[in-house]
Structure 1
């Protein structure tokens, strides 16, 4: 790999890492933001919801936009958006404004994730597999060390620092990207020659709006019922709007020629559909722990942000260490054995959550994080391999987009689950109840994978 390509890798890597870094650092900041803005746990959860809803919508949209405007322009524009949002977020006069800047930040980081891999595939022609694996390290590494970095920053410089820390990364990435990413080739059918109506149809604007309205309305309705304790007319109205929007969205996606989420693909490729269902469940389990443990440590055990970040390293380091080993195992034995072991580990970790209370030994917390970290490493490689096996080569681009959407939906549902179980205050009893629910979900994953294993064996015979 020549020097130019190495700098290109660094530029893209520093850009795409901003999405997982910012999505993971916030896990340590939830308790602090709850105190600063005097919010209950349900309300403060929107700092998580907003980021993942925006990412789920923005990434596939920005992938389409890159075909219209060029990948270099999308990448550089994303960096500028992150720079501006990171500067303005610490100045937020209210929590609502912080949510707005968080959404803008999510859109900016999604622009880079959407085109970063494509830039490397196009311009790094030698040792391409190695180059893509390096980008995967940027993504997984940022997510792994995010809580640790967030804990240190908040401990010494308070919550605004988790936004300001983006500035040096954004600046360096922009300078390197400006010099190393080749200029976009002229596009024959440019957006300037395309009518606004045609362009909006191409990215499926109606589908995007319906999806967003349905998701947000249903979340508001569910969380409001939990917060108030009863079903009001307002809850029914908001929930009804969400349900109607969801039904219209499904009908629209089945009819449109350029769907935001190609629902017909699920019916056409059932094996791929089950991979996505399983991946969504995995992310519900993982992110319930990922966002739950920091709140448990800070609000139940009264551990400070610095020590919380240190403890969360057990999750990230175990995930990073196991990932390359999982790759070798899966190359030899296929994805199913690794996924079964991962499901067993998640079940064991969920049972450990049930045992945690105000006075549990710290070693149990570390063991819980380590178990989930190992399972995350196995699932990360195993689910990607299962996706490739279940998807025709000509469909891999669409399948990857759906796969990422499943990830974000699982993350959103994990935050919803925590919000519903905890309500106003994060408590040890609520966390134990969450552990019971996670144990049931993890057990269902074991059953799904064992059935898949038997099905594969019978087909082989």
Structure 2
């Protein structure tokens, strides 16, 4: 009688956690620390909020385009090469930004940062999924909590750096971080196997995709009759993208798969809505604290500190819980409440009111991203995990671009209280849509049950 030998569960190489987390947080670092730097940079280059908005949009336009491209490359060539190339570009961008003589060069540095930070997150998701670990919840939580921690402490850290060394320090900090990632990545990340050289990347599909996002962003940043031609151009490029992906043998993004995976598409939509509100708070509200309420960059960062603490605590406490729907409901309701409270603010408001708003905003910061990231892990095809994770970030950055455009529009003449109130009304509508989407999605209960069994 043949004995049956039980196969031991596969484990994840814990040495990879540090380089993967470092790579994944490069984008959140550069996203969140800039929130308190927009006003000082505007003063340095005599630029309006509508002009400094390009510092936000430039990074997110590059990242929204680059994330799924790099995710596709990670799926094909493995994580190591893309991780090392991306972090090297981050170091170069840090040098360019630290020495930038004009706002245009600074925007270029942000674009380079956007492309450079594309690899960390898809690489991490790819290696976790390919490791075959049976219970990925702890790893996914570590990945999300680390990114969320950076997002929420970023404004406070940025304010302290600006107070100590000026806004250029926010770019220079990328240089040692990139060197550390390069060293750890070269030493620890596994080498990939042989690659099928005859397989070509879908360059035309990528071009249509990038063109669609660029045309859309240009219109959002300056919505007017003079730029209305960008709307049909966006539709035309999007149609070309879909046609190309439906007819190419190895498409950049397999739209058939996404078209047949409604839960995954709904997760992407939730991410877009949630991040539109989150980034508008991070950038728009922070600008008002400095220009409208008269706080320094360091003090504005400290006002956002309670959000940091709440978000970190919520992520750590709920990270291993299998429930999805409840987290997202609390996150959506919290965003509605926080945006409604912005309507009572004025230049003479007591400081405890923005601090209270910061506390409330910590709940969705700690819940929404974690729940949506984990949902993608269970909803996406394993063979397309890198691309699917990259696309999740694309939708997050689309939300960031929408928030940047809204902030630039409502703060057209400066980050004053009237503009903040208009921005708050817009965000209440977006947060309410998020709440409706969560309530209408029955798949959240199913993936929660699947996660519970792991």
Fold shared by both chains (TM-score > 0.5): yes
Find the aligned partners of 2:255 and 2:107 in 1 and give their Cα distance.
30
Q: Offset at 1:45? A: 0.6
**2:298 maps to what in 1?**
306
**2:351 maps to what in 1?**
362
Change beyond 3 A, Cα 1:118–1:249: closer
**Higher RCO (CA 8 Å, separation ≥ 6 residues):** 2
The answer as to whether partners of 1:5 and 1:124 remain within 8 angstroms in 2 is no
Q: 1:422 aligns with which of 411, 414, 419?
A: 411
Give CA deviations for 1:152-186 in whole Å, capped at 9, x if unaligned.
1112211110011122222222222222223333x
Q: Offset at 1:312? A: 1.5
TM-score (norm 1): 0.85
Matched, 1:59 2:67: yes
Q: Over aligned residue pairs, what C-alpha RMSD do you find?
A: 2.9
The answer as to whether partners of 1:18 and 1:142 remain within 8 angstroms in 2 is no
Give CA deviations for 1:2-60 in whole Å, capped at 9, x if unaligned.
xx955432233222221111111111111111112222211211111111111112122
Give CA deviations for 1:97-144 in whole Å, capped at 9, x if unaligned.
211121112211212333234345557969865444333333222222
Q: Offset at 1:65? A: 2.5
Q: Offset at 1:299? A: 0.8
Change beyond 3 A, Cα 1:324–1:239: same
Find the aligned partners of 1:87 and 1:311 in 2 and give their Cα distance.
30
**1:325 maps to what in 2?**
317
Structure 1 stretch displaced more, 381-390 or 259-268: 381-390
**2:156 maps to what in 1?**
148
Structure 1 stretch displaced more, 114-123 or 166-175: 114-123
Give CA deviations for 1:182-232 in whole Å, capped at 9, x if unaligned.
3333x1424xxx4xxx53xx2x22222222223222332343345xxxx23
Structure 1 stretch displaced more, 413-422 or 60-69: 60-69
Give CA deviations for 1:364-390 in whole Å, capped at 9, x if unaligned.
111111111112222223334544565
Find the aligned partners of 1:410 and 1:420 in 2 and give their Cα distance.
15
Structure 1 stretch displaced more, 124-133 or 408-417: 124-133
Matched, 1:213 2:211: yes
**2:3 maps to what in 1?**
none
Matched, 1:377 2:373: no
Trace 1:117-156 onto structure 2 (pairs within 5 A).
Answer: 117-119=125-127, 129-156=137-164
Trace 1:267-346 onto structure 2 (pairs within 5 A).
Answer: 267-327=259-319, 330-331=321-322, 334-346=323-335
Q: Offset at 1:249? A: 2.4
Unaligned runs of 5+ in 1: none
Unaligned runs of 5+ in 2: 1-11, 450-454
The answer as to whether partners of 1:83 and 1:167 remain within 8 angstroms in 2 is yes
**2:97 maps to what in 1?**
89
Q: 1:32 aligns with which of 19, 33, 40?
A: 40
Change beyond 3 A, Cα 1:354–1:139: same
The answer as to whether partners of 1:342 and 1:379 remain within 8 angstroms in 2 is yes
Change beyond 3 A, Cα 1:357–1:453: farther
Find the aligned partners of 2:196 and 2:124 in 1 and give their Cα distance.
23
Change beyond 3 A, Cα 1:261–1:35: farther
Trace 1:127-206 onto structure 2 (pairs within 5 A).
Answer: 129-185=137-193, 187-190=194-197, 194=198, 199=200, 202=201, 204-206=202-204
Q: Which has the higher helix share?
A: 1
Find the aligned partners of 1:96 and 1:371 in 2 and give their Cα distance.
36
Q: Offset at 1:391? A: 5.3
**2:452 maps to what in 1?**
none
| Secondary structure of residue in 1 paired with 2:304 | helix
TM-score (norm 2): 0.87
Q: Offset at 1:275? A: 2.5
Q: 1:20 aligns with which of 17, 22, 28?
A: 28
Structure 1 stretch displaced more, 49-58 or 92-101: 92-101
The answer as to whether partners of 1:151 and 1:309 remain within 8 angstroms in 2 is yes
**2:422 maps to what in 1?**
433
Corresponding pairs, count: 436
